[in-house]
């Protein structure tokens, strides 16, 4: 969900190991990075070209807007609720048009001072 008047700042609530979005990472250390890519389990009506195009579009959007994500993850082992993980930025060096690698840049987030998050854009 986008935040009004904060372009490129997203509240993100991915599900750990989602069957279509494949939000992957090391749950034991509370996901210092999250690797995300879209690959639906049932691709009978989707071509590989459509999948590739959608992943490329997601990469280009995230990169061009220098997205930051306020991240709450659902389904971490041993926890059925959403867990606040921190603020994530796209790791440009590790990402490409097939996979997005999100790197936690801070665990601090003052919702009254979202302007302070700007320092974490392009922080790699």
Q: For 43-97, write each residue's pLDDT tens digit.
A: 776 788 999 999 999 999 999 999 999 999 999 998 889 999 999 999 999 999 9
- The CA-atom distances, in angstroms, between 94 and each of 17, 37, 69, 84, 124 are 19, 13, 17, 23, 10
Rounded Cα distance, 96 and 108, in Å: 27
Mind giving me the DSSP string for 57-78?
HHHHHHHHTT-EEEEEEE--TT
**What is the model's pTM?**
0.89
Contact by Cβ (8 Å): 66, 87 = no
pLDDT at 122: 64
């Amino acid at each position: 969900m986008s935040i009004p008047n904060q372009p490129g700042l997203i509240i993100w609530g991915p599900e750990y190991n989602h069957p279509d979005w494949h939000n992957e990472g090391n749950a034991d250390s509370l996901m210092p990075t999250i690797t995300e890519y879209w690959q639906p389990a049932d691709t009978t009506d989707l071509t590989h070209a459509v999948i590739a195009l959608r992943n490329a579009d997601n990469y280009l959007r995230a990169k061009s807007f220098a997205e930051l994500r306020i991240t709450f993850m659902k389904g971490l082992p041993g926890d059925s609720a959403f867990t606040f993980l921190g603020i994530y930025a796209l790791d440009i060096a590790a990402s490409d048009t097939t996979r997005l690698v999100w790197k936690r840049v801070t665990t601090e987030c003052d919702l009254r001072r979202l302007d302070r998050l700007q320092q974490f854009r392009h922080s790699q």
